Amino acid sequence: MKMLPLSVISFLLLQLSAVLHGAKWTYNGLNGEHHWSRNYPYCGGAFQSPIDIKSELLMFDPTLRPIEVQNYILSHSELLTLGNNGHSVQISLPSKMHISSLPHRYTAAQLHFHWGSSSRPAGSEHTVNGKQYATEMHVVHFNSDKYPNISMAVDKSDGLAVLGVLIEIGEFNPAFEEFLRFINGIKYRDQKLQVPGFNVRALLPAHLDEYYRYDGSLTTPPCYPSVLWTIFRNPVTISRKQFLAMATTLYSSHAQDSAPEPLNGNYRKPQLPDSRIVLTSFKGGRGMQGTPTVSSPLTRKRILQQLLVGDLADLADEGLHQLLPSGPEKHHTGTKKSHKYQQGETLPKSKHQMMKQSLKKKSQTNHYVGNQGLAEDALCYVSLEQRIVRQLKQSHTETQLVHTLRDSVFPQLNLKSYLDCKSDLALSTIRSILNARPTDEAFELDRSLTKALMNQKKTHTVIKENVPLTKYGSLSPASVPRKPHSKASPHPWLLPMEWED
C-alpha cells in the first residue's frame, strides 16, 4: 500500500481541523457546553472562563491602576454594525477605540452581551461569591502592538483583553437605549444593520478604578486561553423593559427556519480556578478576608530559580512555604532563612548548587520552564493544536486530544501567570520542573510538598484543581515548543461575527 506524502497528510489534517472548528455549537442540548470539547478541545482545557470570583481567590495588587479608555465617545455620523450572530447581540467598534493603561495597546473590535431569560433573569457569565447578575457585557480588544487584526490575535496567549461589565435590573439606562431601539431589526440569526455611533463610555461603570483581573479564555468556542480579563467591581443597571428587549425579542435561528429558537440563557457556567489568583485593584470589600497582597515578581523569579538550579533539599526543609498556595505571606515557617527569602535577599549558593549550575545550562535550553524569557513568549494555540493532532494521529490516539492539550498548555500558562503574580504555582508545574532534577532531591521535595498540602484545609479541593490529570492519571505534561508563533493566514472560522469573546 502506497503511503501518502507527509505534506499531503498535514494538509488533510488542517482541513479536518477546519471542518471540526466550523461545527455548530449551542449552550444546551446535544451541542451544549458540556460537549464543546468534542470539536473544540481547548474548551476542556486549562485557564477557562468564566469563573466564580470567590473571596478566597482575591489578592490585592497595589500596582493595578485605573482603566483608561480612549475615543470611546463616538459621533452619530460614525456607523456601527449591529448584528445577531445566533449566539448574542454584537456591535462592531472602530479601531480608534483602545485601552491605553495596559503594557500593550489593545484596540477595540466589538462588544456583545450574555443574558438570562424572562423566567430566570440571571445570565451573567462571571459570578461574584456565587451571585449571578442579569446580564454581562464584554468589550473585546486585541493586542494591536503585536498582531494586525483580531483574527490573528485570538489564538495567541497575549492576544486579547476583555472589559467585563456586570449588569443588574434597576433604573432605566439611556446609553443602552442607543442600540436597543434597533433590536427589532436583528430578530433572527445573521441579520445585521447599521446604527449611528453613540457614547460607548456611558455603557461602562462611572468609575473604572475598581476591578478584578485574571488570566482566562474565550467563553465561547474555540475557548482559547488568550484573554486578559478585567471585570469591573461595580455593576451598571438597565430597566426590566430593557432586559426583556434582549431576552424575548431575539432568535438564534434564521428567519426562514420553520421552528424559531429563542435566543436567551446564552451564558457559560463557571469553570475551575486552575490555581489562578484574582487580583483586585481595591482593598477589602464585602466577604473579602483581610487584604492580602501578592508576593513580588522578583521573589517569584527567585523561587523558580531555586526550583531549577538550587538546593532542593534546602527548599523542602526550610523554604517549603514558598511553594504552597497563596505564596509566602500566607504560609510562614518563622525561620530566619525563609524570612530573608521573603525580603528579597539573594538565595544562598551552596557547593551543591554551584555544581548543579553548570550541569543545568544544557537542560534549561530545552526544558520549557528553563528559559526565563519563555514566559514572555506568546503561545499560538492553533499551531499547538495542529502539532498535537499530528502526533496523536501517528500513534492512533486522537481521543486523547483534550487531555494532551491541557497537559501541554497548563504548566506553561501556570508558570507565566505565576511570574506575573496572577496564579499560585501548581503542583503539576512544580513536578514538571523537577523532572529534570536528581531523583533523590526531587522525590524529597515532592514528598514534603504533598505532605504539606495534605495538612492544609480543603486539601481535596486544592489538589483536585491544581493537578490536571491526563486520561491515564499522568502528572507529567508534554513539552511545548519554545516559539510556537504561527504566521499562517487567519482561519475561516474566526470571522468577527462567528465568535463572541
Residues with a catalytic annotation lie at 87
CA torsion angle 3 8 9 12 (round to 10):
-140
Contact (Cβ atoms closer than 8 angstroms) between residue 166 and residue 133: yes
**Mind giving me the DSSP string for 435-490?**
TTS-HHHHHHHHHHHHHHHHHSTTHHHHHHHH----TT----PPP--S-----PPP
Per the listing, cell 504552597 goes with 324
Residue from 270, 274, 275, 278 nearest 231 by CA? 278
Residue from 94, 194, 191, 200 nearest 144 by CA? 94
Residue from 279, 140, 270 nearest 200 by CA? 140
CA distances from 244 to 118, 264, 323, 343 (A): 6, 10, 49, 55
Q: Tell me how far the alpha carbon of residue 474 is from its chain's centroid.
A: 23
Q: CA-CA distance, 289 to 55, in Å (whole number)?
A: 7
Q: CA-CA distance, 201 to 206, in Å (whole number)?
A: 9
Contact (Cβ atoms closer than 8 angstroms) between residue 112 and residue 89: yes
Please, is 237 exposed, middle or buried when counting C-beta atoms within 10 Å of its C-beta (0-12, 13-18, 19+)?
middle
Q: Which three cell numbers stand for residue 84?
A: 445577531
Query: Looking at 61-155, which runs of residues are DSSP E strands?
Result: 69-70, 79-84, 89-92, 98-99, 106-115, 127-128, 131-132, 135-143
Neighbours of 420 (CB within 10 A): 17
CA distances from 448 to 324, 328, 348, 423 (A): 11, 16, 21, 21
Q: What phi and psi values does residue 489 have, to the nearest 5 degrees?
A: -70, 155
Q: CA-CA distance, 148 to 130, in Å (whole number)?
A: 38
